[in-house]
A = this chain, B = another copy of it.
């Protein structure tokens, strides 16, 4: 029997149909259909663990916890709860498990694939009250951060140490959330993604077990001790457990940083430049592509005056001699591909403004049509296939008549189409995303370079890894979370 009380505020405009249809699509159908949740009891239980002021069921708060920055909209969570410690996260998990109540870890809500959107009655567990930065080891370049700590906050705290954390998705995301998504950003071409920059994770499983993926103390650079559970949790999108702290690898702030922009007559000239820079093993720190539409958006939103042509935004890190060398080699390659002279960010303000503008691009594109919804595709291909992939995406975008631009971390072969979506264009956008993902897979790439699978890319995941590999992933999920309570409906369909 399905029992929902009037306290499930998210359900007032919903029938049971979407729930049933959702559960029909999950891999643990039989169990899901027997779900029997007394929400009032769960709410009271949660209040007794965290205190009633840290439990909410109001529509406004539930709505805020029902989505990320993507267009994916599903149901509202039944309850939102803010545990104050790892112990409370564990107690909350035990309670939810006892009531067979699905749990959704919530950080900054800045995901791009609907990873925090509830797909049935559920508790959204907001982890941002756990916000300590601890165990900073200046000699070893490592630090521990809890889920409430964002990447900017960490770097602000580190500003006087000579160290920094380089992984930088567009938004100021939670570091633990970035681990959960397998995020990356503009610096990945030189410093790697979250995969290369997490040494250990503290996690809480659905049954409340608290553990460290690499043991309580480990923070050394390498190990071959047993299975790599740290990497397994990176990119697991809250489906295996809560990430309650991450031991992160830091890097020395470069002795010198030089940033420049360079325009090109065509997007292919810019792409070819990026490819050749990588093929020459130039240790470039950032190499970002922005097409004509993206440049228009950046100019409008961030008050810049770049010519409305495809651009590469470039950054070089190193000593004076080594950045000098990198710049010379890069300029030569750009010149051979009809690139303009480099326009340098001369001051720290210009440098910051340039890269902030790049990071704000998502909001800049949305500003084309204030209040609009936007989507971002996220494909990644081998570098040699980048020209073909981007030209295929550009043609699709053109044919669709949608407003949007192409940009990306081309140093990794990773690129996005940002597209404005009208209410009646959902199907069009879905087919665009699917076609871009399929092409990337065909070219030896992936349907998601850094956004994760979430809700939207579940069919593409199957296409990318195949049925047999997916079955192994599901086997892991089932062995970690046998009741299927951790963020159900995400990653797998």
Residue A137 contacts which of B212, B213, B225, B384 (CB distance < 8 angstroms)?
B384
Q: Is A235 an interface residue (CB 8 A)?
A: yes
Q: How far is the CA of A479 from the CA of B452 in the complex (A)?
A: 24
Binds B, one of A21-29, A214-222, A288-296, A424-432: A214-222
Cβ–Cβ contact B226 & A466, under 8 A: no
Cβ–Cβ contact B224 & A444, under 8 A: no
A378 to B, closest residue via Cβ: B224
Q: How far is the CA of A440 from the CA of B209 in the complex (A)?
A: 26
Contacts of A444 in B (CB 8 A): 217-220
A224 to B, closest residue via Cβ: B182
Count the copies.
2
Q: What's the nearest-Cβ distance from chain B to residue A491, in Å? A: 6
Q: What's the nearest-Cβ distance from chain B to residue A416, in Å? A: 13
Contacts of A451 in B (CB 8 A): 224
Convert A196-214 into 0s and 1s, putting 1 for each residue whose CB lies closer than 8 angstroms to a CB of B.
1000000000000111111
Q: How far is the CA of A417 from the CA of B435 in the complex (A)?
A: 55
Q: What's the nearest-Cβ distance from chain B to residue A291, in Å? A: 21
Q: What is the size, in residues, of chain A's interface with B at 8 Å between Cβ atoms?
A: 93
Cβ–Cβ contact A476 & B473, under 8 A: no
Binds B, one of A44-52, A97-105, A151-159, A315-323: A315-323
Q: Is A193 an interface residue (CB 8 A)?
A: yes
Contacts of A139 in B (CB 8 A): 275, 279, 382-384
Which residues of chain A have a CB within 8 Å of any CB of chain B? 137, 139-142, 181-184, 188, 192-193, 195-196, 209-229, 231-232, 234-236, 240, 251-252, 275, 279-281, 318-319, 321-322, 324-325, 380-384, 412-414, 440-453, 457, 460-461, 464-466, 468-470, 472-473, 475-480, 491
Ranked 6 nearest A-B pairs via Cβ: A182-B224, A252-B281, A231-B231, A223-B446, A139-B384, A475-B479
